[in-house]
Amino acid sequence: MKKLFAIFAIMAASLSGFGQAPPSQEEREKMLYEAIDKEIERYSGMLELEDWQIFMIDSTLSHDLRAMTDELSALSTAKVSNASAYQATQDKWTEAIYQSYMRILNPAQQKKYLKAGAEKAKKNRDKRAAANKESK
């Protein structure tokens, strides 16, 4: 999942004008689908997913990652320079994906998913959320 979100961080940076010209809409879509395909391939092998689970995960990622990308683009277009706003957006959608996975996966698959890094990522998101609540 970290690789997937690294791709979106790069996409967000490219949208904000760093370096070369930002990728076209078509290139962004291609990057999105490639990232989704890699993620599904990784989890299919690791979790031994059934066809219906692959479909559900593909649907979840297609929707949630596009929505996250759109929100990150909106922040970039609005010239938001607060890194915590970008992190909060990423955390919101990562949490949505996590919750969907937990509904889709059976208990044995959930255990493998959590051990593969999802549990640590969840704890980190929860810590950031608690810190944000305290600072408000």
For residue range 3-59, list pLDDT tens digits in order. 555 555 555 554 444 555 667 778 888 988 999 999 999 999 999 999 999 999 999
1 within some domain: no
9 within some domain: no
Instruction: Give the residue numbers spanning the domain of 72.
Output: 24-135
3 within some domain: no
CB-count exposure of residue 103 (10 Å: 0-12, 13-18, 19+): exposed
7 within some domain: no
6 within some domain: no
54 within some domain: yes
Number of domains forming the structure of the chain = 1
* 82 residue type, one letter: N
Regarding pTM above 0.85, the answer is: no
Tokens of 54: 């692959």
Tokens of 5: 């979100």
Contacts of 22 (CB under 8 A, 6+ apart): 14, 15
66 within some domain: yes
